[in-house]
């Protein structure tokens, strides 16, 4: 793992986004954090103390003044190990959020002996020092990157240890089982009693089922973290751009009575019932002699192919057009929601021609909630609600769960076929290794590197 020169280093970084803001925070963590703070900070006031003499969890007013030259007026927080994010001595300097000021504060701290932190290094230390496990470290990144409240609350659950608890419970049971098996291996003369044998099989089966059901949450996890792409498709003038604007709640796309107005695809993210949805508005699908429009139609088709879900929008105030019938049939096997738009006008479209369609009017907003309901139902595999959010594992966790489950199933098969207990134990150890990776009990340097590299600087 790339820890830099040594974990003995005291590290520092700007923890707030770069750019102008009211405040910025420079964070320092490590053995020398307080000594470094002493060098750069001049407390103000008569009863003031230097950072190294200050009690833990106290805030101090003063000046950042390396070598006696004032750089900024700041608030400095002293946090002593072990009750800190990294479990190391930590100092946080809140300075004014100007680009130059922030850089000067950071430079002063580095000049006093700190090293610039790598991305995610504070969190990496929290993990290495045992304050959080790997699922919790990943939850920190998920929380920072969350695009909806649902995604944020899922991340917070994981940060609180919801996933860890479930994984640890499964692991603990398998560890006990392994100890049991090993005792029998050590005393080969004693046969396993039939009912003990059955109980062992039952426990392996239960563990495999639990691992499988955790892994099944990966789809929801992917949706929460990455969102889904929904392409809005249909003929020109059906009201696709109007629908995009309605879904976003603001006028993003140009709406016009002139067919062929939207020529390029245009995408924007909206929060639909907690789901981050990337809506892609497209050019109307029709035969055209205009080169630019033809390119737009080609891109629409591409958008439709790469989207997880299609919103097929049809103008309900007109009879079914052969092009729409062709699109309807073309997408029969795809996840698609049919929208019969312009329901504020007298209907001309026969329901049988466009079955299961949601009646909607982008003009009056009628049908919008029904559309969101359908979208929500189609997206989640189970009933996900914010108050009762199940765990939602990420791709790395799902991969480890799959290997864990495979190992448990092999152990189960070996035990069932009366194979040597050594084989059963071997498969179980492989499974335990994989399960241990989830929380970080067993890890490799590469794995840790790839996880923490995704973090922002200063976290």
Ligand X SMILES: Nc1nc2c(ncn2[C@@H]2O[C@H](COP(=O)(O)OP(=O)(O)O)[C@@H](O)[C@H]2O)c(=O)[nH]1
Binding-site ranges for ligand X (CB under 6 A): 236-242, 255-257, 261-262, 284, 341-342, 344-345, 361-363
Q: How far is the CB of 117 from Mg ion (least distance, A)?
A: 47
Q: How far is the CB of 262 from Mg ion (least distance, A)?
A: 3
Considering the complex, state which of residue 264 and residue 373 has its C-beta at the smaller distance from Mg ion. 264
Considering the complex, state which of residue 130 and residue 351 has its C-beta at the smaller distance from ligand X. 351
- Residue 102 binding partner per list ligand X, Mg ion, none, with a CB distance cut-off of 5 to 8 Å that depends on partner kind: none
- Residue 362 binding partner per list Mg ion, ligand X, none, with a CB distance cut-off of 5 to 8 Å that depends on partner kind: ligand X
Q: How far is the CB of 239 from Mg ion (least distance, A)?
A: 8
Q: Is 241 in the site for Mg ion (CB under 5 A)?
A: yes
Q: 272 is written with which tokens?
A: 């639909």
Q: How far is the CB of 353 from ligand X (least distance, A)?
A: 18
How does DSSP assign 291-347, residue by residue?
HHHHHHHHHHHHHHHH-SEEEEEEETTSPPPHHHHHHHHHTTTS-EEEEEE-TTSPP
Given candidates 136, 158, 262, 361, which one binds Mg ion under the rule CB under 5 A? 262
Considering the complex, state which of residue 284 and residue 390 has its C-beta at the smaller distance from ligand X. 284
Q: How far is the CB of 343 from ligand X (least distance, A)?
A: 7
Considering the complex, state which of residue 253 and residue 435 has its C-beta at the smaller distance from Mg ion. 253
Number of residues engaging Mg ion in binding (CB under 5 A)? 3
Across the chain, which distance is largest between two alpha carbons, in Å? 88
Task: Answer yes or no: are the C-beta atoms of 433 and 175 closer than 8 Å.
Answer: no
Q: How far is the CB of 263 from ligand X (least distance, A)?
A: 10
How does DSSP assign 400-440, residue by residue?
HHHHHHHHHHHHHHHHHTT--HHHHHHHHHHHHHHHHHHHT
Binding region for Mg ion (CB under 5 A) out of 96-104, 109-117, 261-269, 379-387: 261-269
Considering the complex, state which of residue 162 and residue 342 has its C-beta at the smaller distance from ligand X. 342
Q: How far is the CB of 236 from ligand X (least distance, A)?
A: 5
Considering the complex, state which of residue 158 and residue 241 has its C-beta at the smaller distance from Mg ion. 241
Closest CA to 15 of 78, 128, 97, 138: 97
Report d(CA 197, CA 418) in Å as an integer.
10
Report d(CA 265, CA 301) in Å as an integer.
10
Which segments of 112-260 does DSSP mark as H helices, in order? 121-128, 134-145, 149-159, 162-186, 194-215, 218-226, 240-248
**By three-state DSSP, how is residue 172 classified?**
helix
Considering the complex, state which of residue 234 and residue 440 has its C-beta at the smaller distance from Mg ion. 234
Closest CA to 348 of 314, 313, 312, 320: 320
Considering the complex, state which of residue 263 and residue 410 has its C-beta at the smaller distance from ligand X. 263
Q: How far is the CB of 213 from Mg ion (least distance, A)?
A: 43
Q: Is 136 in the site for Mg ion (CB under 5 A)?
A: no
Binding region for Mg ion (CB under 5 A) out of 27-35, 89-97, 260-268, 414-422: 260-268
Cβ partners under 8 Å of residue 291, min gap 6: none
Q: How far is the CB of 265 from Mg ion (least distance, A)?
A: 10
Report d(CA 201, CA 253) in Å as an integer.
60
Considering the complex, state which of residue 117 and residue 266 has its C-beta at the smaller distance from Mg ion. 266
Q: How far is CA 344 from CA 140, 206, 265, 359, 360, in A?
A: 47, 55, 27, 9, 8
DSSP letter for 399, please. H
- Residue 332 binding partner per list Mg ion, ligand X, none, with a CB distance cut-off of 5 to 8 Å that depends on partner kind: none
**By three-state DSSP, how is residue 158 classified?**
helix
- Residue 271 phi, psi (nearest 5): -95, 105
Q: Is 102 in the site for Mg ion (CB under 5 A)?
A: no
Task: Answer yes or no: are the C-beta atoms of 378 and 219 closer than 8 Å.
Answer: no
Binding region for Mg ion (CB under 5 A) out of 101-109, 175-183, 236-244, 424-432: 236-244
Binding site for Mg ion (CB under 5 A): 240-241, 262
């Amino acid at each position: 793992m790339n820890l830099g020169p040594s974990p003995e280093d005291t590290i520092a970084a700007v923890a707030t986004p770069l750019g102008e803001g009211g405040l910025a925070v420079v964070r320092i963590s490590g053995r020398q954090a307080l000594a470094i703070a002493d060098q750069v900070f001049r407390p103000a006031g008569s009863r003031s103390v230097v950072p190294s003499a200050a009690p833990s969890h106290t805030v101090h007013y003063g000046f950042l003044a390396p070598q006696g030259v004032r750089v900024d007026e700041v608030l400095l927080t002293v946090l002593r190990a072990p009750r800190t994010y990294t479990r190391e001595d930590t100092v946080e300097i809140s300075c004014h959020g100007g680009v130059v000021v922030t850089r000067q504060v950071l430079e002063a701290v580095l000049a006093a002996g700190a090293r610039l932190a790598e991305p995610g290094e504070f969190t990496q230390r929290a993990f290495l020092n045992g304050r959080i496990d790997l699922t919790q470290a990943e939850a920190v990144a998920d929380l920072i990157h969350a695009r909806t409240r649902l995604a944020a609350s899922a991340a917070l659950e994981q940060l609180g240890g919801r996933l860890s608890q479930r994984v640890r419970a499964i692991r603990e049971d398998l560890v006990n089982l392994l100890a049991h098996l090993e005792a029998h291996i050590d005393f080969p003369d004693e046969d396993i009693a039939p009912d003990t044998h059955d109980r062992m099989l039952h426990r392996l089966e239960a563990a495999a089922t639990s691992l499988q059901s955790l892994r099944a949450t990966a789809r929801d996890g992917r949706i929460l973290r990455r969102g889904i792409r929904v392409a809005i498709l249909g003929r020109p003038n059906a009201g696709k751009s109007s629908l995009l604007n309605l879904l976003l709640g603001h006028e993003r796309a140009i709406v016009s009575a002139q067919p062929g107005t939207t020529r390029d695809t245009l995408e924007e993210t909206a929060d639909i019932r907690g789901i981050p949805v990337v809506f892609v508005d497209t050019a109307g699908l029709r035969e055209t002699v205009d080169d630019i429009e033809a390119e737009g139609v080609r891109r629409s088709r591409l958008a439709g192919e790469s989207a997880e879900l299609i919103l097929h929008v049809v103008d309900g105030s007109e009879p079914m057009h052969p092009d729409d019938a062709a699109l309807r049939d073309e997408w029969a096997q795809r996840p698609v929601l049919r929208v019969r738009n312009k329901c504020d006008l007298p209907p001309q479209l026969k329901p049988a021609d466009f079955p299961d369609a949601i009646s909607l009017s982008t003009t009056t907003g009628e049908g919008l909630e029904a559309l969101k309901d359908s979208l929500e139902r189609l997206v989640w595999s189970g009933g996900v609600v914010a108050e009762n959010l199940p765990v939602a594992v990420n791709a790395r966790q799902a991969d480890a769960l799959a290997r864990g489950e495979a190992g448990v199933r092999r152990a189960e098969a070996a035990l069932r076929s009366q194979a040597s207990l050594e084989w059963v134990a071997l498969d179980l150890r492989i499974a335990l290794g994989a399960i241990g990776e989830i929380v970080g009990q067993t890890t490799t340097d590469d794995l840790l590197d790839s996880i923490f590299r995704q973090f922002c600087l200063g976290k």
